A and B are shown apart, each in its own frame.
Chain A
Amino acid sequence: DGGITQSPKYLFRKEGQNVTLSCEQNLNHDAMYWYRQDPGQGLRLIYYSQIVNDFQKGDIAEGYSVSREKKESFPLTVTSAQKNPTAFYLCASSIGTHGNTIYFGEGSWLTVV
């Protein structure tokens, strides 16, 4: 089936450790996105990529890093510099531009203890 796969679903890490969240899509979409969701704050954009080997910072990029070496993959690394990393992280993708729907994965829960 076509879709967006995020892994792992649940992840626990110790404070100070980097962690990488995986996002893979087989929809042949050009654009991919990472959002962070916190209760009562909606979703906030971390990074997005409109084409392979290119990505841009979103509204809350500090403490995160991404890569886009392949069209189908857009991993997110939460670094130790991220002050409040515990959150629900959502990966998304779209065909490209101009009103095309953005589709979301099932999300990954990251808890830092």
Chain B
Amino acid sequence: AQSVTQLDSQVPVFEEAPVELRCNYSSSVSVYLFWYVQYPNQGLQLLLKYLSGSTLVESINGFEAEFNKSQTSFHLRKPSVHISDTAEYFCAVRPIQGAQKLVFGQGTRLTINP
């Protein structure tokens, strides 16, 4: 079985400041890792994913996440945030073998203040 822990339920930051949203996971098997973003009253959109290869993955809007196998972490970072980044962010894992279903963390609400 898998579990995902997002260490912060809420993260307030000022515009143009850097941010890190933390994600740790537990799994007895190898997993793929994902970050999704949810804007108010909408579904989830894929932000980025790690399947294999380079442990640093990037999104088109400036976010990046690094897979750290020894620490079982997949933290999300952005060097300079914008008001439009205000949303809820979900970390998720999915086993490479076996049942193909996502297991989510509880979410982190990112609030950007002007």
**Contacts from A to B (Cβ < 8 Å):** 4, 6, 31, 33, 35, 40-45, 48, 50, 56, 58, 90, 92, 94, 96-99, 101-107, 109
Which residues does chain A contribute within 8 Å of B7, judged by CB atoms?
none
| A-B pairs with beta carbons under 8 A, tally | 62
With A40-B9, A102-B34, A104-B43 given, name 16 new contacts (CB 8 A): A33-B101, A40-B107, A41-B106, A42-B6, A42-B90, A42-B104, A42-B105, A42-B106, A43-B102, A58-B101, A94-B100, A98-B100, A99-B94, A101-B46, A106-B42, A106-B43
Could you write out 27 A-B pairs with CB less than 8 Å apart? A6-B43, A31-B100, A33-B101, A33-B102, A40-B9, A40-B106, A40-B107, A42-B104, A42-B107, A43-B44, A43-B102, A43-B104, A56-B99, A90-B43, A92-B44, A98-B96, A99-B51, A99-B94, A102-B46, A102-B94, A102-B102, A104-B43, A104-B44, A105-B43, A106-B42, A107-B41, A107-B43
**Contacts from B to A (Cβ < 8 Å):** 4, 6, 9, 32, 34, 36, 41-46, 49, 51, 90, 94, 96, 99-107
Residue among A31, A40, A43, A50 with the highest chain B CB neighbour number at 10 A: A43
Instruction: Check A99–B96 contact: CB distance below 8 A.
Output: yes
A89 → B minimal CB distance (Å): 10
Instruction: Check B32–A99 contact: CB distance below 8 A.
Output: yes
> Which 4 A/B pairs are nearest by Cβ-Cβ distance?
A104-B43, A42-B104, A104-B44, A42-B106
Nearest B residue to A31, CB-CB = B100
Instruction: Label chain A's interface by main secondary structure.
Output: strand
B37 → A minimal CB distance (Å): 11
Nearest B residue to A44, CB-CB = B104
A105 → B minimal CB distance (Å): 5
Instruction: Check A101–B42 contact: CB distance below 8 A.
Output: no
Distance A41 CA – B105 CA, assembled complex (angstroms): 8
Instruction: Check B101–A48 contact: CB distance below 8 A.
Output: yes
Instruction: Check A90–B101 contact: CB distance below 8 A.
Output: no
Instruction: Check B32–A104 contact: CB distance below 8 A.
Output: no
